Amino acid sequence: MLRAHFAVDSMYLTPGAAFKGITMYLPANRPYACVLLHYDDGMVCSSAWLFTLDTATLKSIAALEVESNCDADLSRDNYFMHYRRDNDTLLHTVTLHHGPGDDQPLLDSTIDRYTLLPDGRIVQR
C-alpha cells in the first residue's frame, strides 16, 4: 500500500532506510482515520506523509507529503517543509527556500493550505 501512494527514490532505499513514528487520529464525525508516517532514508533526508484511510476497509483514500528535511548543501539552494494541523480537518505546510552559501539566506517561503473533505480526500484551498 505504501508503494502505491508515494515515490521513494530507489537510490535512498538503503539498509538504513526506515518508516518510523506512526501517529494516528480520528477526526470527529468522519469515516476515515488520519495517519502520519515518518520516513528516514538513513542517510541525509527525512520526510513525513499524511494518509487518510477508510476505517471500514483500511484502504488509503489520499496521501500528502507534509514534511521534508535534508542536510543542507551549501553549494546550492535548499528547501525545507514542515506542517501544522489547524484543527481536525484543516492543515497547512510551510516551505522555506534557502539560498546557497555559508549564511544560507532565506529567499522565500510558501504557505499551502489544505482541507480534509468529508470523504477523506485532501484538497488544496
Q: pTM value? A: 0.80
Mean pLDDT of all residues belonging to the chain? 85
Confidence of residue 115 (pLDDT cuts 50, 70, 90): very high
Question: pLDDT digits over 20-54, tens only?
Answer: 778 888 888 888 999 898 888 888 888 899 999 99
Three cell numbers, residue 13 = 532505499
If we measure between CA atoms, which residue out of 69, 110, 111, 61 comes closest to residue 86? Answer: 111
How far apart, in Å, are the Cα atoms of 23 and each of 14, 26, 33, 40, 50?
Answer: 24, 11, 10, 15, 9
Question: pLDDT digits over 48-70, tens only?
Answer: 999 999 988 888 899 999 999 88
Read out DSSP for 103-120? T--EEEEEEEEEEE-TTS
State how far the Cα of 60 lies from the Cα of 22, in Å rounded to an integer: 15
